[in-house]
Structures are given as C-alpha cells and as structure tokens.
Amino acid sequence: MERRQFLKLGVVTGGVFALGGAMRPGGRSAFAQSTATPIVDRLVMTNVVDNIYDVFAKGGTLDTITVERMRGSIGVASPAAEHGLAYHLESARGSEQREILLDFALTERNLFNNYAVLKLDPSRADALVISHGHADHYGALPDWARVYQGKFKSSVALYAGGEDTFCQRMLTLPGGGTFDYGRLDQAGLEARGLKVVLAKQATSVAGHAFTTGQIPRLTDFERPPAAARLVAGAMDSACSPVHFGATKVEAKPGELVADTFQGEHATAYHVKNRGLVVITSCGHAGVINSVRQAQKVAGIDKVHAIVGGFHLAPASDDIVAKTVEAFKAINPDYIIPSHCTGLNTIIAVHRAMPQKLVMPSTGTRVIFGV
C-alpha cells in the first residue's frame, strides 16, 4: 500500500509488523470458569455509535487488518454520532459465529438508527456486555431491552463488572453543584427477561470473547476522573461503599463517594496468530491497567490492538506522555482511539507511533484475523 493511502486511513506505516510475539506457554487463563482463553479466527468490530462521523475517512487494507468505512450521502441514511459508544462484535471460529453487543450509546434514537443503517440485527446477539455505569454507554439499554423483549435469544445475558454498574452516578461541576448522571436499572432489565451476570473476575463471553474482570490499578499515573461520584446506599445494599472499592469509607445513604469505577471491565478477544484485541470502552480504570489485566487473565502477552476510549481528553501532558511510553512498551500492532480518548492523546500517539494509529468513525468496521 502506498504511503499516501496510509495517511488517508489515519495511519503512516513503516512496513510489515511481526506477528505472534511472546505468548506464555500454554496460554493458561485465569477465568472464573477455569476454562482456556477463547480464541477466534476472525473478529469484525463495528463502531455502531461513536463521538464522530467522518464521511471522508478512507478504508483499506493495512498489514494485518482491513478497515471499512460507512458511506453516507445525500438521500442515503447516515450513521449518527453522539457522545456515546456502542460496538457490534462478530467473531468466527471455524464455522461457528458469535455476535456480541458491547455498550449501548447515549440515546436510543441514534443507536437504533445506526443498527438499521449498518444493517445489523440486534436480536441475533449471543451476549451483551456493559462496560460501566455511565449513561453514554448504557443510555439506550433500557429501550433496547424493551424493544427486543421476547425477540432476543433466551440464552442472552448482560455481563457487568460489578454492583456499582447499577448505582446512581453524579458529577461535580467546576463552579459548584452536581450533575445527575443517572442510574441503570438492573431490576428493570431483568423484568424484560435479561439475565444480569456480575463478572467480577475474568469471564468467557459467548465462548469467543472474554471480559477482564475488575481491573487492578497497577500504574501510578492513571486515575479515575476527579469529578466522578457515586451516591452511597445503605451498607447492606448493592450500592454501599463496600461495592465501590472504597471499603474504608462509611458513607451515609445519599452521601456522595468518590467513584473509583470498581466494576468497570474491558472486553477482549484472542485472535489467532495475531494476539489480543482489547477494548477499553471508556477506560476509567486506565487503558494501561486494562491492557495489563487482559494480558494477565488470558495468559497472553502479545497485543494486536488496543481500542478506545481511553478517557484521556482531560489528562495532563505528563499523563499522556506516560501513557504513550507504556503503549510503546506493550507494542501493539494497532491503536484505535475512540470516544473519550481526546485529541491530545491521538496527536501524541501519531507522533510516537504513526504506523500503529487507526482512526475510527461511527460506522467504521475493522476486520481482525482472516
């Protein structure tokens, strides 16, 4: 591929990357079910909803992935962008196919519009994953459950990383006061027939993907957003501070507690002969912490792609620089920053490793594997 074409993809590359890399012998996993790390031949990752829609973004085949773009034009329905995130993940192992929906955007209007424009049938999903309890990821999920009640597969479960996914969120405002960031109603989803699984440990999803489980904070530079708060419930409730990871805090019901995103988890695949594709969704646990946890639980070091959001838009230059240094150490083949990553980090990644950067857009499909 010519250098000019790479530039149009948001990528400048120096050549073919080595595949394989260091996989620990046996690929021994640490899943809750004590199963081996699932492996797939192919993964098609579609950004159903993302923060931008770039009609000029070019597609093409890079060294080991293919990027397809959604074309909108006058008179043809276009995918809609918003501050929200939703993925459709379709994987194959031999003739066996699985579809997973990861996160559910902010508004049902845009999510359902984009499912239709992208010709996706959400009722075909084999599993659902919610990354954490912020409305830009779960916003349309209650409507999803209402619209597809009785239509989705009876075996479908919603994988959440902890109790706090379903607790009341608030944001503190710079000028004082708070902003109500809502609450995902677990009982409401279950009333629609959705089984909710709290996957606090690494968990195989639909036999093809895995969630990381709750993510240890290993780095000293990744911090949860300072403005994020949870509303404490009674100590014997699912929304007590015990479940927020702040077990030393004995808050009274209704008080605000710093949000550590205890139950945020990443979603990942092991793509055969490529390595791990790790999707952080919003990355409040830290993108580096998330990737390290995926490597640890899978027993696989080689990272094929790190997919955002990385939630570094508000981060200082120092934190961005440390994150980029850690990216270099992990040495993925591709970095695909979306949603809340921030232009600061995108520019820094482009400067440091331009050949690895792929810019997604709402409707973008990335094909991993064969």
Quick one: tokens of 334? 């591709």
How many CB atoms within 10 Å of residue 55?
Answer: 13
Nearest CB to Fe ion, comparing residues 266 and 300: 266
Q: Is the CB of residue 330 less than 8 Å from the CB of residue 291?
A: yes
Q: Which is nearer to Fe ion, 276 or 282 (CB)?
A: 282
Distance, in Å, from the CA atom of 287 to the CA atom of 172, rounded to the nearest integer, reads 23
Quote the least distance from Cβ 107 to Fe ion, whole Å.
14
Per-residue x/- marks for Fe ion, 331-350, CB under 5 A? ---------x----------
Comparing CB distances to Fe ion, the nearer of 282 and 358 is: 282
Minimum CB separation of residue 309 from Fe ion in Å reads 6
Residue-level length of the chain:
370
First to last CA, the chain: 18
Size of the site for Fe ion (CB under 5 A): 3
Task: Give the residue with the Cβ less far from Fe ion, 284 or 350.
Answer: 284
x-or-dash string of contact with Fe ion, 133-152, rule CB under 5 A: ---x----------------
- Which residue has its beta carbon closest to Fe ion? 282
Site for Fe ion in 284-313 (CB under 5 A): none
Write down the least CB distance from residue 136 to Fe ion, Å: 4
Q: How far is the CB of 247 from Fe ion (least distance, A)?
A: 26
Return the number of the residue (282 or 357) whose C-beta is nearest Fe ion: 282
- Please, which residue, 235 or 343, has the CB nearer to Fe ion? 343
Which one of 24-32, 166-174, 282-290, 344-352 is the stretch in contact with Fe ion (CB under 5 A)? 282-290
Q: Taking Cα atoms as reference points, which of 114, 58, 125, 123 lies closest to residue 84?
A: 114
Closest CB to Fe ion among residues 90, 136? 136
DSSP bridge partners of 158: 128, 196
Q: Does 164 bind Fe ion (CB under 5 A)?
A: no
Q: Output phi, psi for 209, to 5 deg.
A: -110, 175
Among 155, 68, 188, 53, residue whose Cα is nearest residue 113: 53
Q: Is 282 in the site for Fe ion (CB under 5 A)?
A: yes
> For 119, left (φ over 0), alpha (ψ -120 to 50), or beta?
left
Cα 301 from Cα 276, distance rounded (Å): 8
Q: Which of residues 182-211 bind Fe ion (CB under 5 A)?
A: none
Shortest distance (Å) from residue 276 CB to Fe ion = 22
Instruction: Write the DSSP symbol of residue 40.
Output: B
- To Fe ion, the closest distance from the beta carbon of 84 in angstroms equals 7
Residue 188 burial class via C-beta count within 10 angstroms: exposed 0-12, middle 13-18, buried 19 and up: middle
Query: Nearer Cβ to Fe ion, position 271 or 285?
Result: 285
83-112 residues in contact with Fe ion (CB under 5 A) are none
| Phi, psi torsion values for 152, nearest 5 degrees | -75, 160
238's CB contacts (< 8 A; 6+ apart) are: 163, 166, 167
Q: Taking contact as CB under 5 A, which single stretch among the options 3-11, 37-45, 262-270, 278-286 is the one that binds Fe ion?
A: 278-286
Neighbour tally for 41: CB within 10 Å: 16
Compute the least distance from the CB of residue 315 to Fe ion, in Å. 14
* Nearer to Fe ion among residue 310 and residue 368 (C-beta): 310
Tell me if 289 sits within 8 A of 219, measured CB to CB: yes
Peptide bond into 309 cis (omega under 30): yes
CB 133 to Fe ion: min, Å:
11
Is residue 347 helix, strand or coil?
helix
- To Fe ion, the closest distance from the beta carbon of 106 in angstroms equals 9
Interface positions, 208-227, toward Fe ion (CB under 5 A): none
Element (H, E) at 292: helix 287-298
- Pick the closer one to Fe ion by CB: 295 or 338: 338
157 lies in the site for Fe ion, by CB under 5 A: no
- H or E element: which one contains 67? strand 65-68
- Nearest distance from C-beta of residue 172 to Fe ion, angstroms: 17
Which parts of this chain interact with Fe ion (CB under 5 A)?
136, 282, 340
